[in-house]
Chains A and B, each alone.
Chain A
Amino acid sequence: MFSFLKILVRNLIQGPSTDPFPFGETFTPEGLRGRVRFDASACVGCRMCEHVCAGGAIRFEQSESELRFTLWHNSCTFCGLCQHYCKTKAIVLTEDWHLSHRQEEKYAMVEQGTVPLAPCLGCGISMIPVADELMRVAYRETNQDIDRLRRLCPDCRRKLGIKGVQRCKM
């Protein structure tokens, strides 16, 4: 019968339940999907993020010397698919949700990164260098042979592989 008294006393002790933001600090739940961070040194240029992007926010531009990644936060739904499909963890969604901005900054709300292309040691064609993170994901341990393959383009790697098989037969 007097259960309301319990609630009354509890509310008197606890104080207001209103979040003090914007006058004070607020809480951020763990795992909140906010502003996207791109790490160019871990990107392997598979473009899976561009393919799965629901809002069409991610764009890749390839030139002679580099691969440029652009993500526009004003088109991003923060679904996290890019992070899910990025095996080398080049794309990570941070917990930063402070994204409101003035109209002047509308087209400045981007996350950019460039992956410089490197020449293949075999034929000299420019290719996306194999990231350290990819080596860690693909091979648990690396040795000198694997490290040599890493600086070759897919064609040269294939040629080297066929030569290796022939040697085995002989």
Chain B
Amino acid sequence: MKTFLKKVAAQSPWLYRINAGSCNGCDVELATTACISRYDVERLGCKYCGSPKHADIVLITGPMTTRVKEKVLRLYAEIPDPKVTVAVGICPISCGVFRDSYAIEGPIDKYFPVDINVPGCPPRPQAIIEGIAEAISVWRTRL
């Protein structure tokens, strides 16, 4: 039963999106990759889910502002292992243009392990799909 589940789960990693104080640019691109049939991330077996408890791949945008820090950490702790973390945009990777601000607590790899980085401001949908495809290959090794 367990091996069967593993085999099935490898085909359909579920995505969960955390906005850690993003300007919404990367979130729009993430919505584009999911909702617009030209890009269609569901071809890879992915599906956005509403609850962190169902997530396999976590997509994080935003530079982790002081205001959302506690909430992001709580959400991240709720995601069951094994999980793969993808940082989308330059903000979660290095805080980008917001670096050294008093209201920024990032970059996010200070708080939890990141596996894939997708730089860009925002990255184009194809770049996000490339990152997600790599995240899926990482996730299959962790199952």
Which residues of B have CB within 8 Å of A158?
none
**Mostly helix, strand, loop or mixed at chain A's interface?**
loop
Interface members, chain B 65-123 (any A CB < 8 Å): 90, 93-97, 99, 109, 113-121, 123
Q: Are A18 and B94 in contact (CB under 8 A)?
A: no
Which residues of B have CB within 8 Å of A98?
127, 130
Q: Are A74 and B130 in contact (CB under 8 A)?
A: no
Q: Are A21 and B129 in contact (CB under 8 A)?
A: yes
Q: Which residues of A contact B (CB under 8 A)?
A: 17-19, 21-23, 26, 32, 54-56, 72-79, 97-103, 106, 109
Of residues A72, A98, A103, which shows the largest number of chain B Cβ atoms within 10 Å of its Cβ? A103
Q: Which residues of B contact A (CB under 8 A)?
A: 37-40, 43-44, 90, 93-97, 99, 109, 113-121, 123-124, 126-131, 133-134, 138
The total number of A-B Cβ pairs within 8 Å is 93
Q: Are A99 and B118 in contact (CB under 8 A)?
A: yes
For the complex with contacts A73-B119, A100-B127, A106-B93, 19 further pairs of A-B residues with Cβ separation under 8 Å are: A17-B37, A18-B37, A19-B38, A19-B39, A21-B126, A32-B124, A55-B97, A72-B94, A75-B95, A75-B99, A76-B119, A77-B96, A97-B123, A99-B123, A100-B116, A101-B116, A102-B134, A103-B117, A106-B109
